[in-house]
Amino acid sequence: MAILALGAALAWRGAHAPAAPSASDIGGPFHLTAQNGARVDQGVLNGKWTAVYFGYTFCPDVCPTTLAALGQAESALGDKAGAFQVVFITVDPARDTPAQLRAYLSSPSFPKGAIGLTGSETDIKAVTAAYHVYYSRNGQGPDYSVDHTSIVYLMDPEGRFVRPVTPGPPADMARQILAAMSGR
């Protein structure tokens, strides 16, 4: 399932795209700046089940919808919610400063305690390469958009990729997360 989702994400490269990555090829070391200004690395994923989502704060639809669904899914995890976190990594580091991420993620409909990460363009290119995420600035001026892969990557408490979480009704997303937590 993960291979199919990632294969679709790579389809933009055309007919000569490299083979889809295996689950063990997803993720890896990174160095980014959190919304509180602290430099963090992939260790931020350790200790909890983590939904990693790439997007940007000026996104008009997909990003806020996905984050709101993750917020509701988190609530549906019940007593397992404490073992779960969301990490939002920007694909728009030019506009998404730590302060912008902090303000954006403070929405009451988003997951509680979501961690926002940004960095230099080089930092973002490195982490998107590690997760096989496509992104591209679209347009000019201050109102540009960013086309990007929209996959929720579920990582285990050791920071290893487990599966994509299929977007949809929050209860369905919660079931997928709980199944992974239970080893199913």
Model pLDDT for residues 28-62, shown as the tens digit of each residue: 999 999 999 999 999 999 999 999 999 999 999 99
pLDDT (0 to 100) of residue 25: 87
Sheet holding 161-165, edge to edge: 39-41, 31-34, 115-118, 84-90, 49-55, 152-155, 161-165
Per-residue tokens: 183: 């080893």
User: How far does Cα 26 stand from its chain's mean position?
Assistant: 12
Domain count, the chain: 1
Asked if the model's pLDDT at residue 147 lies above 50, the reply is yes
Confidence of residue 24 (pLDDT cuts 50, 70, 90): confident
10 Å CB burial of residue 25 (0-12, 13-18, 19+) is middle
Question: What CATH number should be reported for the domain holding residue 47?
Answer: 3.40.30.10
Buried b (16+ CB within 10 A) or exposed e, 161-175: bbbbbebeebeebbb
pLDDT (0 to 100) of residue 20: 54
Report the Cα–Cα distance between both ends of the chain, in Å, rounded. 14
pTM score of the predicted model: 0.87
The residue segments making up the domain with residue 72 are 2-181
pLDDT per position as a tens digit, 53-102: 999 999 999 999 999 999 999 999 999 999 999 999 999 999 999 999 99
